[in-house]
């Protein structure tokens, strides 16, 4: 039997947004092909390290020099330095790219993509974020507002499971939360002290895509407090495509998943003024294949989707599909993670915790939010992730201590520490870009991606302010002045936040944006881009929930357009 080549819908990519597109399209009755460039990762079965303890790893968990050499870029952010998760990150020799300026491009080429290894922090945007471009003139105005996405946030939250507490904050709208992870006694103490010193700031429970409370989503169970999320969770304790949306899509009988399918380009049809299909290179055989559909969802990741569009050239689109504005590949954003502060907390020396929370606290932004304090020398804002924990007595590898007492001392708890790390917004800037290098092709004959992005004054000023405020807040909690700041500015490169965004932005005007308010390419309405590429600005919170909500919203739009016959 020959392979089926015609479908109602094609979804490129099976990560956090592709999984949602697949689920929504399949559940509406559309025969949907999901193209995944890498291998299968089946929920539970393909999490080889999930139940391994340190002593179960060969060579004490150390990675040999030969193996390290295959992931030199993936190791930059620490992600692939962990022997327990490195198999979810690409081989950098097989998947090269170029850096006009240093760029940390962290990737997982397999079913589920980075939904397996994501940070799981889940924060809604507010109108402060959706209106930011309009208000300060950076980038272009978002074509949507909070009210347009609010119901879709709810739909996604209810389905994926988000633990958190309701706080009624204008800059961080509440959602459909399940029981929050409890704060430990020192976190409660820090919250009290901090909010006493700064009544307009809030130290709250983090919000994350972990299952808590009585009712687990179908096929999943409660978070077991292991903090081994990045290995894949056999309990389905956190949300991933693999544990959730892909099985839901499969259940409909409308779902076809094709692995090892590298998308070369989207094919434009001059007669209809729409896309008619997708050209694919089989990763294993290098055979060229074509698949056809009425609608296409591009969810290959910010960089992946943008590279596909840039390579989708035709007479109508000589500079890449949908690139009438010249903005395709531009306005790259990320989040800065340039440091924070931490301090010792006294008075709880007889208390300890048991179990491992996979997420602790969040401190939402407090500057540049309407009537609040203004940033002295920056626009937009930052928030912090952090928490308090009691660590073991330090091991002092370098000291001259030896002996039984020294050994047994290290089995005890040491100081409590509280710390917060600043996540800052990066402005959309046309100069921050990616483009394709046709002189350097990869192993499948595709042009490689080159990055040319850097932090500018606003980001640096904001991060400096965030570090200083973190120090002051730590000192306000302790009443001492010995908080330590950490400064990663010299180690940071664009991409380090692993929140690449913005290279096919949404907008109101086709002259200055790639996508419209429904995530359709302005000039090719049956192509939807709903991963991070669509983002018009970056806010300072983790973006995945917004990709998922926009995807569900766009899928609903596409389904109704198909019913109306718009794409036939």
Q: Find the part of the chain contacting another protein (CB under 8 A) among 275-283, 302-310, 318-326, 401-409.
A: 401-409
Asked if residue 357 binds another protein (CB under 8 A), the reply is: yes
Determine which residue in the list 1, 2, 3, 55 makes contact with another protein, applying CB under 8 A.
55
Q: By C-beta, is 156 or 183 nearer to another protein?
A: 183
**235 touches another protein (CB under 8 A):** yes
Q: In what order do the strands lie in the sheet with 520-521?
A: 255-258, 32-35, 9-12, 295-298, 524-529, 520-521
Nearer to another protein by C-beta: 395 or 491? 395
CB atoms within 10 A of CB 99: 17
Q: Rounded to whole angstroms, how far apart are CA atoms 487 and 472?
A: 15
Size of the site for another protein (CB under 8 A): 57
List the x/- string, 130-169, binding to another protein by CB under 8 A. Answer: ----------------------------------------
Task: Specify the residue, 41 or 554, whose C-beta has the smaller distance to another protein.
Answer: 41
Examine residue 40 and tell whether it contacts another protein (CB under 8 A).
no
Cα distance between the two ends of the chain: 27
Output the smallest distance, CB 343 to another protein, in A.
20
Strand partners, 298: 12, 529
- Residue 386 touches another protein, criterion: CB under 8 A: no
**Residue of 147, 199, 285, 354 that binds another protein (CB under 8 A):** 354
Q: How far is the CB of 411 from another protein (least distance, A)?
A: 5
Residue 277 structure tokens: 């299909």
> Which range of residues in 1-9, 284-292, 298-306, 393-401 is near another protein by CB under 8 A?
393-401
Q: How far is the CB of 545 from another protein (least distance, A)?
A: 23
Sequence-distant (6+) residues with CB within 8 A of 138 are: 132, 379, 427, 428, 429, 537
DSSP conformational letter for 56:
G
User: How many CB atoms lie under 10 A from the CB of residue 130?
Assistant: 21
Phi-psi region of 206 (alpha: psi -120 to 50; beta: other; left: phi over 0): beta
* Contacting residue, 199, 370, 371, 403, with another protein by CB under 8 A: 403
**224 contributes a contact to another protein by CB under 8 A:** yes
Q: Look-up: residue for tokens 């590898």?
A: 397
CA-based nearest residue to 434, from 312, 298, 314, 327: 327
The region of 233-241, 299-307, 417-425, 476-484 touching another protein under the rule CB under 8 A is: 233-241
85 is a contact residue toward another protein (CB under 8 A)? no
Q: How far is the CB of 88 from another protein (least distance, A)?
A: 17
CA dihedral 104, 320, 309, 311 (to 10 degrees): -80
Q: What angle do CA 471, 474, 477 make, to 5 degrees?
A: 150
* Residue whose CB is less far from another protein, 409 or 517: 409
Residues 171 and 173: their CA atoms lie apart, in Å, by 6
Of 376 and 397, the one with the shorter C-beta distance to another protein is 397
Nearby residues of 10 by Cβ (< 8 Å), 6 or more positions away: 32, 33, 34, 35, 277, 278, 291, 293, 295, 296, 297
Footprint of another protein (CB under 8 A): 44, 47, 50-51, 53-56, 58-65, 181-185, 216, 219, 221-222, 224-226, 234-236, 349-357, 392, 395, 397-405, 407-408, 410-413
């Amino acid at each position: 039997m020959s392979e089926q080549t015609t479908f109602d819908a094609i979804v490129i990519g099976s990560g956090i947004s592709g999984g949602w597109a697949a689920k929504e399209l399949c559940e509406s009755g559309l025969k949907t092909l999901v193209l995944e460039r890498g291998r299968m990762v089946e929920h539970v079965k393909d999490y080889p390290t999930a139940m391994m303890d340190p002593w179960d790893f060969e060579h004490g968990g150390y990675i040999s020099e030969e193996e390290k050499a295959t992931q030199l870029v993936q190791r930059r952010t620490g992600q692939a330095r962990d022997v327990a998760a490195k198999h979810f990150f690409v081989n950098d020799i097989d998947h090269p790219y170029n850096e006009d300026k240093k760029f940390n491009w962290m990737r997982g080429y397999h079913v589920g993509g980075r939904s397996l290894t994501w940070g799981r922090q889940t924060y809604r945007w507010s109108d402060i974020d959706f209106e930011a471009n309009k208000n300060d003139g950076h980038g272009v105005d978002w074509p949507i507002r909070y009210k347009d996405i609010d119901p879709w946030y709810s739909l996604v939250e209810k389905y994926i499971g988000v633990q958190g507490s309701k706080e009624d904050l204008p800059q961080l709208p509440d959602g459909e939360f399940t029981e929050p992870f409890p704060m430990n006694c020192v976190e409660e103490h820090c919250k009290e002290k901090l909010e006493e010193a700064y009544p307009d700031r809030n130290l709250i429970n983090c919000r994350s895509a972990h299952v808590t409370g009585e009712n687990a989503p179908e096929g999943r169970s409660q978070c077991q407090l292991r903090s081994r999320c990045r290995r894949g969770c056999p309990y389905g304790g956190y949300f991933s495509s693999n544990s959730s949306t892909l099985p839901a899509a499969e259940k409909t009988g409308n779902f076809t998943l094709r692995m090892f399918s590298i998308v070369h380009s989207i094919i434009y049809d001059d007669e209809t003024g729409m896309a008619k299909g997708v050209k694919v290179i089989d990763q294993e055989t290098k055979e060229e294949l074509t698949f056809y559909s009425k609608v296409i969802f591009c969810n290959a990741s910010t960089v992946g989707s943008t590279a596909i569009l840039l390579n989708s050239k035709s007479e109508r689109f000589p500079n890449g599909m949908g690139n009438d504005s010249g903005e395709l590949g531009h306005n790259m954003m990320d989040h800065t993670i340039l440091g924070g502060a931490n301090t010792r907390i006294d008075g709880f020396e007889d208390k300890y915790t048991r179990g491992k929370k996979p997420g602790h606290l969040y401190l939402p932004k407090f500057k540049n939010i309407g009537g609040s304090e203004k940033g002295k020398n920056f626009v937009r804002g930052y928030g912090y992730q952090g928490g308090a924990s009691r660590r073991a007595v330090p091991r002092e590898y370098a000291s001259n201590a030896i002996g039984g007492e020294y050994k047994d001392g290290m089995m005890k708890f040491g100081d409590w520490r509280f710390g917060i790390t600043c996540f800052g917004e990066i402005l959309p800037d046309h100069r921050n870009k990616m483009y394709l290098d046709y002189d350097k092709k990869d192993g499948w004959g595709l042009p490689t991606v080159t990055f040319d992005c850097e932090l500018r004054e606003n980001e640096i000023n904001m991060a400096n302010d965030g570090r200083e405020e973190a120090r002051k807040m730590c000192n306000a909690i302790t009443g001492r002045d010995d908080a330590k700041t950490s400064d990663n500015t010299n180690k940071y490169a664009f991409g380090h936040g692993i929140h690449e965004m913005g290279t096919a932005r949404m907008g109101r005007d086709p002259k200055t944006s790639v996508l419209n308010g429904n995530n359709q390419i302005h000039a090719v309405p049956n192509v939807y881009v709903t991963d991070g590429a669509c983002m018009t600005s970056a806010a300072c919170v983790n973006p995945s929930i917004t990709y998922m909500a926009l995807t569900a919203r766009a899928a609903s739009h596409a389904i109704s357009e198909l019913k109306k016959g718009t794409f036939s």
